[in-house]
């Protein structure tokens, strides 16, 4: 069978005949139909089609979902799939995703319509999860069962094709010895079938490899046959999701998908209070009653700066340091005017990015009554909440910015993270923002404000600022040593009978609950590091630009942050080819990316975006002020001369502003 399948006038004519030959049909002189840049997702409610829909959502790729269980769903017929616009035949979908190779009853008119449509317009079909048999170009399975812990591999054809962004290995998760996490059919191509495996694996203890993902060409159609089940969160799917979309769209689609990782280090120049394993609280902080215990602060030293600089160079990665200048000022006052840590950080300031974290790290929400544990908001005589004032908030921002400017820190002056994300709502004590926060942010020209993703995940406006939610890493601010981290982890996540806090008993949905306390000697490296690595890497692989945050204490003493950071970046490097590097943006760029995505999603959901391809030209119409995300083949031009996008994962991608209201992209001649 011929490997290159184009859209021919004969094929279009066949579909036109089934539609009744509309006026203005394609002719030999003008054979190219219009193909809309939209994917049809036919779902049975299973995890596989939902995972593909989630990938399209994340990237911003428009799609129409048809739920087979919905009795009011549209009927998939020739009129649903294609029509005529301005005298030109239009294919309404550039790709079709089905839950399996044929989810309809035998003899279904809907499957017949899809088959005719795919042939006529050379529209590819993804079989999201099906079993191996000759109907899908495979022999019957040589192995059917779990692939937990198996390392699948991308074949040479997969590397040369849609999965060229991967280094080669596709590890299947094995997070629990008691829970089955995968199921697959492994099979060889059926005799005589035109089938090309893209990803393959051998079953446990078996020498023969079989296909997991492959392309089946037959009857003028192309199917991507996937024979393992997955959900949207599993690493094996996250690794392959990009390639599935690239295959189904031929590398021409709306939406952008990149792998992001940014790490903020809070409390730089300051000292963090230390966990007390006897008291099960942190003396000097609000989780200990006033006067309980003796604070033993954790603070970086110059050697920790040297380590951070060297680590960054070795990884090609830049940390964002969120600083509190009074930590240095106070330290110098208490030490004869000397602060070697600040001297070293200022000397190496250009090695890092810097974020204003307020001058003293003061709590900027309600005034805290810490005479009780947990603390509560202080109130006035009339019962109203006492709030930190607008002027106090502005002073904290301005004083810290001024110190940074005086010391030559390369700041983005409109970025801010308040101490403990204070000023923003924090439940249950303060369910609303400090009403003085927004005006103070406006007064000081703040455009981007860090928030805690665990309690305030949705991007929103606060005064002049837009929030950027940050993922908290479960490497605790009050731990400079692994044993401290494990002890606090055990306290939080074990039962009262095991000496823990009982939080998990009171909140059984907590995902990090422990069946038994971790070993203080091995629990950090053996349990916490792999778990935190897997969580953060999952964000990286999900096209999620939101930053993660740790604290300066985690770069001090035993430097317990590095095993997690190395796990994320080292694990990533093992999985991805050099053409797909981690993207490491600063906070304001992350905020702008999230804003663009939200505006784009709003425009698409409102039906205000039209996008299609005719031959080698892609046209996108969108509301004024809305930038358009797109992924295209290398060599694509925006306008007659300007190269579109930037290189990533073997393609070019980026955001284009409609001018006026329209973007035109010209594909390379070979496409």
In a domain, 439, yes or no: yes
Residues 640 and 546 in one domain: no
Q: Encode pLDDT of 574-590 as tens digits.
A: 999 999 999 999 999 99
Residue % of the chain over a pLDDT of 70: 95
In a domain, 561, yes or no: yes
Q: Which residues span the domain enclosing 348?
A: 263-484+512-587
In a domain, 503, yes or no: no
**Which residue reads 């000496």 in tokens?**
499
Residues 572 and 661 in one domain: no
Is the pLDDT at 115 greater than 60? The verdict is yes
Q: Encode pLDDT of 294-309 as tens digits.
A: 999 999 999 999 999 9
Residues 597 and 574 in one domain: no
Nearest to 280 by CA among 500, 64, 498: 500
Residues 181 and 91 in one domain: no
Is the pLDDT at 19 greater than 50? The verdict is no
Tokens encoding 506? 């009171």
Q: What is the pLDDT of residue 23?
A: 33
Instruction: Count Cβ atoms below 10 Å from residue 658 Cβ, excluding itself.
Output: 18
Q: What is the pLDDT of residue 641?
A: 82
Q: How far apart are CA 501 and CA 537, in angstroms?
A: 29
Is the pLDDT at 277 greater than 80? The verdict is yes
Cα–Cα–Cα angle for 619, 623, 627, rounded to 5 degrees: 70
Lowest-pLDDT range, 370-374, 556-560, 586-590?
370-374
- How far, in whole angstroms, is CA 142 from its chain's centroid? 35
Q: What is the pLDDT of residue 3?
A: 36
Rounded to an integer, the average pLDDT of 324-338 is: 98
Q: Encode pLDDT of 476-516 as tens digits.
A: 999 999 999 999 999 999 999 999 999 998 988 887 899 99
Residues 578 and 629 in one domain: no
The DSSP call for residue 447 is: -
Lowest-pLDDT range, 150-154, 317-321, 402-406, 501-505?
501-505
CATH number (domain holding residue 362): 3.20.20.370
Rounded to the nearest integer, the mean pLDDT of the chain is 94
- Using alpha carbons, list the distances in angstroms from residue 149 to 129, 176, 252, 521: 20, 10, 34, 26
Angle between helix 340-347 and 325-334 (nearest 10) = 140
Q: Which helix (H) or strand (E) holds 466?
A: strand 465-472
Contacts 24+ apart (CB under 8 A), 643-652: 647/579, 648/258, 648/579, 648/580, 649/164, 649/165, 649/242, 649/257, 649/258, 649/579, 649/580, 650/164, 650/165, 650/579, 650/580, 651/246, 651/251
In a domain, 560, yes or no: yes
Instruction: Indicate the residue among 250, 271, 290 that finishes a domain.
Output: 250
- How far, in whole angstroms, is CA 57 from its chain's centroid? 11
Q: Encode pLDDT of 617-657 as tens digits.
A: 999 999 988 999 999 999 999 977 899 999 999 999 999 98
For 192-241, the DSSP string reads T-EEEEEEEEE-TT---EEEEEEEEEETTEEEEEE-B---TT-HHHHHHH
Is the pLDDT at 25 greater than 80? The verdict is no
In a domain, 340, yes or no: yes
User: What is the widest separation between alpha-carbon atoms in the chain?
Assistant: 91
Is the pLDDT at 475 greater than 60? The verdict is yes
Instruction: Count Cβ atoms below 10 Å from residue 396 Cβ, excluding itself.
Output: 28
Residues 145 and 113 in one domain: no
Rounded to an integer, the average pLDDT of 460-465 is: 98
- How far, in whole angstroms, is CA 66 from its chain's centroid? 25
In a domain, 143, yes or no: yes
User: Quick one: pLDDT band at residue 604, thresholds 50, 70, 90?
Assistant: very high
Q: What is the pLDDT of residue 1?
A: 32
Q: What is the pLDDT of residue 30?
A: 62
Tokens encoding 384? 């109203």
Q: How far apart are CA 97 and CA 618, in angstroms?
A: 22
Q: Encode pLDDT of 39-90 as tens digits.
A: 999 999 999 999 999 999 999 999 999 999 999 999 999 999 999 999 999 9
Q: What is the pLDDT of residue 21?
A: 37
14-42 burial code (b ≥16 CB/10 A, e <16): ebbebbeeeeebbeeeebbbbbbbbbbbb
Residues 82 and 33 in one domain: yes
User: Quick one: pLDDT band at residue 106, thresholds 50, 70, 90?
Assistant: very high
Instruction: Indicate the residue among 250, 284, 308 that finishes a domain.
Output: 250
Rounded to an integer, the average pLDDT of 593-605 is: 97
**Which residue reads 């609950």 in tokens?**
513
Is the pLDDT at 177 greater than 90? The verdict is no
Residues 71 and 110 in one domain: yes
Q: What is the pLDDT of residue 9?
A: 40
Is the pLDDT at 15 greater than 60? The verdict is no
**Which residue reads 């009653």 in tokens?**
289
Contacts with 264 (C-beta within 8 Å, 6 or more apart), sequence order: 319, 320, 321, 322, 355, 417, 450, 470, 547, 548, 549, 550, 587
- Based on the structure, what is the number of domains in the chain? 4
Cα–Cα–Cα angle for 513, 517, 518, rounded to 5 degrees: 100
Q: What is the pLDDT of residue 263?
A: 98
Residues 228 and 375 in one domain: no
Q: Do strands 637-638 and 662-666 pair parallel, antiparallel, or not at all (unpaired)?
A: antiparallel
Cβ contact 210:201 at 8 Å: yes
Contacts with 457 (C-beta within 8 Å, 6 or more apart), sequence order: 451, 469
Note the pTM of the prediction, 2 decimals: 0.94
In a domain, 290, yes or no: yes
Is the pLDDT at 11 greater than 90? The verdict is no
Q: Encode pLDDT of 507-536 as tens digits.
A: 888 878 999 999 999 999 999 999 999 999
Residues 386 and 416 in one domain: yes
Instruction: Indicate the residue among 587, 611, 632 that finishes a domain.
Output: 587
In a domain, 497, yes or no: no
Is the pLDDT at 14 greater than 50? The verdict is no
Greater model confidence, 658 or 504: 504
Cβ contact 304:559 at 8 Å: yes
Is the pLDDT at 4 greater than 70? The verdict is no
190-205 burial code (b ≥16 CB/10 A, e <16): beebebbbbbbbbbee
Residues 114 and 137 in one domain: no
For 122-175, the DSSP string reads T--EEESS---SGGGTBPSPSEEE--TT-EEEE-HHHHHTTTTTB-SEEEPP--
Q: Encode pLDDT of 211-266 as tens digits.
A: 999 999 999 999 999 999 999 999 999 999 999 999 999 999 999 999 999 999 99
- Using alpha carbons, list the distances in angstroms from residue 303 to 478, 555, 631: 20, 10, 44
Residues 546 and 627 in one domain: no
Is the pLDDT at 6 greater than 80? The verdict is no
Nearest to 441 by CA among 458, 424, 459: 424
């Amino acid at each position: 069978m011929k490997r290159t399948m184009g859209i021919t006038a004969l094929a279009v004519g066949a579909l036109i005949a089934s539609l009744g030959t509309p006026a203005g049909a394609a002719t030999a002189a003008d054979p190219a139909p219009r193909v809309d840049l939209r994917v049809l997702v036919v779902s049975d409610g299973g995890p596989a089609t939902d995972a593909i829909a989630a990938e399209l959502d994340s990237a911003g790729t428009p799609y129409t979902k048809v739920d087979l269980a919905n009795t009011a769903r549209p009927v998939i017929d020739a009129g649903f799939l294609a029509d005529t616009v301005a005298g030109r035949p239009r294919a309404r979908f550039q790709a079709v995703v089905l839950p399996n190779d044929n989810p309809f009853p035998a003899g279904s008119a809907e499957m017949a319509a899809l088959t005719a449509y795919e042939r006529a317009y050379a529209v590819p079909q993804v079989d999201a999860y099906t079993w191996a048999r000759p109907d899908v170009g495979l022999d019957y399975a040589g192995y059917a069962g779990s692939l937990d812990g198996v390392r699948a591999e991308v074949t040479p054809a997969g590397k040369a094709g849609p999965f060229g962004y991967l280094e080669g290995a596709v590890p299947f998760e094995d997070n629990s010895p008691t829970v089955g996490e995968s199921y697959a059919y492994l099979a060889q191509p059926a005799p005589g079938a035109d089938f090309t495996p893209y990803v393959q694996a051998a079953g446990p203890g078996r020498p023969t490899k079989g296909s997991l993902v492959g392309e089946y060409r037959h009857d003028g159609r192309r199917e991507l046959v996937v024979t393992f089940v997955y959900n949207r969160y599993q690493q094996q799917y996250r690794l392959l999701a990009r390639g599935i979309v690239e295959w189904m769209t031929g590398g021409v689609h709306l939406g952008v998908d990149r792998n992001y990782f940014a790490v903020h280090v809070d409390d730089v120049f300051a000292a963090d209070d230390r966990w007390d394993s006897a008291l099960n609280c942190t003396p000097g902080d609000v989780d200990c009653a006033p006067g309980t215990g003796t604070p033993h602060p954790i603070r970086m030293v110059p050697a920790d700066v040297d380590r951070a600089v060297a680590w960054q160079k070795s990884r090609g990665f830049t940390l964002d340091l969120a600083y509190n200048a009074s930590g240095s000022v106070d330290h110098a006052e208490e030490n004869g005017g000397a602060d070697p840590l600040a001297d070293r950080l200022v000397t190496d300031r250009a090695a890092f990015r810097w974020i204003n974290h307020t001058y003293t790290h003061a709590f900027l929400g309600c005034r805290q009554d810490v005479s009780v544990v947990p603390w509560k908001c202080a109130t006035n005589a009339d019962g109203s909440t006492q709030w930190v004032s607008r002027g106090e908030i502005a002073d904290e921002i301005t004083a810290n910015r001024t110190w940074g400017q005086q010391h030559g820190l390369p700041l983005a002056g409109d970025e801010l993270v308040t101490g403990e994300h204070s000023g923003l709502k924090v439940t249950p004590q303060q369910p609303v923002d400090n009403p003085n926060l927004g005006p103070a942010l406006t007064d000081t020209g703040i455009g981007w404000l860090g928030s805690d993703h665990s309690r305030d995940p949705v991007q929103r406006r606060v005064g002049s600022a837009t929030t950027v939610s940050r993922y908290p890493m479960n490497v605790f601010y009050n731990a400079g040593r692994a044993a401290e981290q494990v002890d606090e982890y055990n306290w939080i996540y074990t039962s009262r009978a095991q000496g823990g806090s009982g939080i998990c008993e009171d909140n059984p949905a907590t995902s990090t609950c422990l069946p038994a306390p971790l070993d203080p000697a091995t629990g950090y490296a053996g349990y916490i590091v792999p778990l935190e690595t897997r969580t953060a890497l999952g964000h990286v692989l999900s096209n999620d630009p939101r930053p993660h945050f740790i604290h300066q204490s985690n770069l001090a003493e035993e430097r317990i942050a590095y095993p997690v950071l190395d796990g994320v970046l080292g694990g990533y490097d093992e999985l991805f080819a050099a053409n797909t590097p981690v993207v490491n943006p600063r906070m304001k760029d992350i905020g702008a990316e999230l804003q663009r995505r939200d505006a784009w999603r709003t425009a698409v959901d409102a039906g205000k975006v039209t996008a299609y391809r005719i031959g080698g030209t892609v046209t996108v119409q969108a509301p004024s002020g809305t930038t358009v995300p797109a992924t295209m083949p290398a060599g694509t031009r925006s306008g007659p001369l300007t190269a579109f996008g930037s290189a990533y994962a073997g393609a070019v991608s980026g955001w284009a502003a409609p001018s006026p209201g329209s973007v035109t992209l010209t594909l390379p001649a070979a496409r």
